[in-house]
Amino acid sequence: MGTLWWNGTFFTMKEEQEKVEAVYVEDGVIVDSGSKDELISRYRERMKESIDVEGGYVYPGFVDSHLHMVGHGERLIRLDLSETHSASEMSEQLAEEVRETPMGEWVFAEGWNENNFVDRKIFHRSELDDITTEHPMYLTRICRHAALVNSKALALAGITKDTPNPEGGVIVRDADGKPTGYLLDAATELVKSVIPPVGKQYVERALKKATKDMLRLGLVGGHTEDLHYYGGFKETLDAFKQVIDGDNIKFRAHLLVHHEAISEMKETGHKKGDVTPFIELGAMKIFADGALGGRTALLSAPYTDDPRTNGVAMHQQEELERLVKKAREEDMPVAIHTIGDEALHLAIGAIEKHPCTNGRDRLIHVQVVNEEILKRLKNIRVVLDIQPRFVAADFPWVMERLGEVRLPYSFAWKRLLDSGLVCAGGSDAPIEPVDPLLGIHAAVTRKKPGETHSGYLPDQKLSMFEAIKLFTQGSATAIEKEETRGVIASGFVADFTVLDEDLFDGDPDKALRTNVLMTVVDNTIMYNRNEEVIKAE
């Protein structure tokens, strides 16, 4: 039996401004759309219920094409430093966290960003030691490609003046060669390896927090990479199955598989494709470089504000090609983290040598490109996972990193789309806020909320239709679901994001004032703002 959804404006997203008055659904799939009266006339005998969306504006369900769901949950349950705007404030928050942490246990914090500080201060281990010498401390930078640790953590990891830099990482040192406590990319693994592993209950708690938060913000699904970090492939996948059970919680989780988790995936009898009706395994995840914030993104020429380096290659060309070949042997596409143009060059070369035959490869972030790279991208079967919110977060400081020559091809979302490339929209949460409306706003305005200028590189602004499409059709295309997800039309899943505002109504800042009224997954209301308001009262 079916459900009629009515009394709203349903934007189909097939064409700009195409809309209908009502939608009829059976078994979680849209059967028909049109006016309420037309649908009642056609399906009266099969109609079991009707749901009034109370004048809301209904969009195909928003999906975040790239994030780390367990990490987002950790950000919700750990000390969050992402909104800290001075070194003194950070010190105070850490001291408070130490006071609340049992003696000897690890102190964790997420999201510090020196670019938020007037003096761009990066703490030295001795300054962290002033806060505590009894607790090992691990503080994750906003990009998640760097961390700060105190002396106790360095000692537990055995990191000394004589410890060499691991491949793909840097132990930052002072003038005497001693570690400062600032670790970049693979060097963070030296400390992570001595942190006591988290239990399944912790992962489930973080994942439940993340999923409920995403549903509250209008997300019906997310493409996430978590399977290598929290006790291994099986334990983390079991946590996903426990939380997203298809009954209490419906949410479409598409899980990328880190290349080091492939063996365990095979040992447990899994392969690319559906695990449950709401959980599926996707591409093999590979990191080609780091991040611009820590100057570990791999550039073809040195950083403008530090000519001593052009970044860090996580894998050399031969190894990258080996990993892509490994994915092909498992009949998998790849999803490669590529921020710098040189990282893109290496990744595209590996894909060109071992083309994808099952699905579409994905290049994640794609923040610095050039004309040659654009030409090569058109000749491979690839979707680009972009994070529009990075513009709001990284400008203006990123201009110092890249310089004037590279800027026209940096964070160039419009240029990518105009080149005929398929792009999907995500947040990279917990690096950026998971709220898709913030991502949409950044794509259209290219500035931070509240700023009054014309936008950073304003010629790269997207239209509202293009921006919303990133989080609907773009995310669906990235995982070969463009025939069943991302559009409101017959044959597509009944996943809806219901807002109280028409995002197409002129003012892009309206996205910042918009509330999510409902989040609907598989024809089921998974979040209802009215119920939340009633509970609060």
Per-residue pLDDT tens over the stretch 465-523: 999 999 999 999 999 999 999 999 999 999 999 999 999 998 999 999 999 999 999 99
User: Encoding tokens for residue 401?
Assistant: 């990193």
The pLDDT of residue 423 is above 80: yes
460 touches 415 (CB < 8 A): yes
CB 425 within 8 A of CB 65: yes
Section 411-435 average pLDDT: 97
Please tell me the predicted confidence (pLDDT) of residue 536. 47
HEC string of 472-512 equals: HHHHHHHCCCCCCCCCCCCCCECCEEEECCCCCCCCHHHHH
Sign, CA dihedral 318-338-334-282, equals positive
For residue 523, give the amino acid letter.
Answer: N
Compute the mean pLDDT over every residue in the chain, rounded to the nearest whole number: 95
* Pick from 370, 467, 476, 451: nearest CA to 415: 370
Handedness of CA 506, 509, 515, 518 (dihedral sign): positive
CA 369/CA 406 separation, integer angstroms: 8
Distance CA 511, CA 440 (A): 8
pLDDT for 133? 96
pLDDT in tens, 194-246: 999 888 889 999 999 999 999 999 999 999 999 998 889 999 999 999 999 99
**Helical axes 200-216 vs 233-243, angle rounded to 10°:** 50
Please, which residues have CB within 8 angstroms of residue 373's CB and are 6 or more apart in sequence?
341, 344, 345, 348
Q: 3-class SS at 154? A: helix
Mean pLDDT in residue range 73-84: 92
Q: Distance between CA 108 and CA 495 in Å, rounded?
A: 36
Residue 107 clears pLDDT 80, i.e. is over it: yes
CA dist., res. 273 & res. 281, Å (int): 5
User: Which two structure tokens, joined as six digits, stand for 133?
Assistant: 């010498």
The mean pLDDT value for 13-17 works out to: 94
pLDDT at 71: 93
**Helices 317-329/341-353 angle, 10° precision:** 50
pLDDT at residue 403 greater than cutoff 70 = yes
What pLDDT sits at residue 24? 98
Q: Give bridge partners of residue 362 from the DSSP assignment.
A: 335, 383
Dump pLDDT digits (tens) for 280-336: 999 999 999 999 998 999 999 999 999 999 999 999 999 999 999 999 999 999 999
- At 344, which amino acid appears? L
Element (H, E) at 382: strand 382-386
Tokens of 318: 């031969």
Tokens representing 128 are 């962290």
Burial category of 342 from C-beta neighbours within 10 Å (exposed 0-12, middle 13-18, buried 19 and up): buried
Query: For the chain, what percent of residues have pLDDT higher than 70?
Result: 99
Q: 419: which residues sit within 8 A by CB, 6+ positions away?
A: 374, 377, 378
Phi and psi at residue 84, to the nearest 5°: -85, 130
Cα first-last separation, the chain: 35
d(CA 222, CA 331): 22
* Residue whose entry in the numeric block shows the structure tokens 């993340």: 210
| pLDDT tens sequence across 329-371 | 999 999 999 999 999 999 999 999 999 988 899 999 999 999 9
* Length of the chain measured in residues: 537
Q: Are 500 and 514 in contact (CB under 8 A)?
A: yes
Residue 533: pLDDT band with limits 50, 70, 90? low
Residue 197: the pLDDT is 85
Peptide bond preceding 277: is omega within 30 degrees of 0, i.e. cis?
no
By CB neighbour count within 10 A (0-12 exposed, 13-18 middle, 19+ buried), where does 46 fall? exposed
Q: Return d(Cα 216, Cα 290) in angstroms, integer.
A: 31
Which residues contact residue 299 at a Cβ distance below 8 angstroms, ignoring those fewer than 6 apart? 310, 311, 340, 341, 342, 368, 402, 406
The predicted pLDDT at position 199 comes to 84
Rounded to 5 degrees, what angle do the CA atoms 246, 432, 139 make? 100
Which residues pair with residue 306 across a beta bridge? 303
